Amino acid sequence: MSISRRKFLGQSALTAVGGMLIPSFLKGFDGRNTLLNNSSNKLVIIQFSGGNDGLNTIVPYQNDIYYQQRPNIAIKKSDVIKVTDELGFHPALKSLQGLYDNGDMSIINNVGYPNPDRSHFRSMDIWHTASNSNEYLSTGWLGRYLDKHNNNNHQALEMDDTLSLALKGIEHSGFAMSDPKRLQRTVKTPIVKALVKHHHDHDHEENVAYLYQTLANTVSSSDYLFEKAKTYSSSQSYPKNKLGKSLKQVAELIISGCDTQVYYVTLGGFDTHANQTMTQERLLKAYAESVSAFIKDLKQHNQWNDTMVMTFSEFGRRVKENGSRGTDHGTAGNLFLMSGKLKKAGFYNDAPDLTTLDKGDLIYNMDFRRVYATLLDKWLKVDDQAILNRQFKALSIV
């Protein structure tokens, strides 16, 4: 009885061996090409894992309710970087003020989805798959994009050793890599070379042949990314943290002319149930300084107008602080879009309404899938409805 490729890859001993040699991005590759999109634009996604507190990120510094509900952790009005008469940045975001002032940043408030789930894992799955809260999908929104518009095994690249659900498709998936040089050393081990060299011996066995083709494609992409990584070495000063390192590598690949179109980066640690103030300040400072260096790098090489940076978190936090000088899981949050080609910069919509809450939580009024639809349709130039499996009204940002 025959079994599917997917099932074979999941059960194969060769896959288990390969998993020790090569990261988990092996699954989901196929040598076939499908329809290309009509855009050369780059999309860089930064994921805040843990549920970033949006109210202390974009601060409603004129709102008395904000200070009443957060007597210990609210950002002092005197410390807020005021950008409108009502809203301002957390002081740790100072490096991004110039981007806001120059019209390179759009901030969307109250982003969420109907019937929110406060589980980190489930809510992140919803964001990754663009599903309804009662719907369970095995493919990510970017994975489905790759299924329809993939041209190479590295068209979507995650700067990590494991691949997020967002980049997993049925026939095509993204490519996970934390360092081109380390990846190159991994795939050049004698056993991998031998496996690739002798794959023709198994061409008559479909599943085994597919596994070998997957391995060959991985080696090919490794070679390509390694060569591109050598083309340009950034002289820009980046923060010496994981995010700074990842964005430096992304900038080097973009500037070198790498044909990767989607880059995915994660910054974790935002689950601030206790002692939130110092933790969030540290994370936001690392984020702002890393993104600022990244954008300076791209601007110096005339790549900024063709690049979009989206930053999101799986949910926000509750309005009222808890008893541990932190905040608990909430619902709606804010989302950042940055590019040199924004049609509407600044704040896209109104500040959160703190007078009307849902059992202590903010009420969302912007479905995150409208942002996805906008990026797919207006930026990547593809059929967003075919990828999201339904129609969402695009935003007038790009």
Question: How far is it, in rounded angstroms, from Cα 280 to Cα 284?
Answer: 6
Question: How far is it, in rounded angstroms, from Cα 263 to Cα 280?
Answer: 24
Give the confidence band of 292 by pLDDT, cuts at 50, 70, 90: very high
Domain 28-179+236-388 fold is: Alkaline Phosphatase, subunit A (3.40.720)
Residue 19: pLDDT over 50:
no
Mean pLDDT of the chain: 87
Give 49's DSSP letter.
T
242-255 and 276-300 helices, crossing angle to 10°: 20
pLDDT tens, position by position, 263-287: 999 999 999 999 999 999 999 999 9
Residue 250: pLDDT over 60:
yes
Between 3-17, 93-107, 188-202, the lowest mean confidence (pLDDT) is in 3-17
pLDDT tens, position by position, 312-356: 999 999 999 999 999 999 999 999 999 999 999 999 999 999 999
pLDDT tens, position by position, 91-112: 999 999 999 999 999 999 999 9
Domain ranges of the chain: 28-179+236-388
Alpha-carbon distances, residue 9 vs 13, 28, 35, 209 (angstroms): 9, 9, 25, 11
The 3 state secondary structure assigned to 55-77 is HHCEECCCCHHHHHHCCCCCCCC
Pure H helices in the chain: 5-11, 13-21, 64-69, 97-101, 120-129, 141-149, 180-187, 190-197, 206-231, 242-255, 276-300, 368-374, 384-388
User: Higher pLDDT residue, 124 or 188?
Assistant: 124
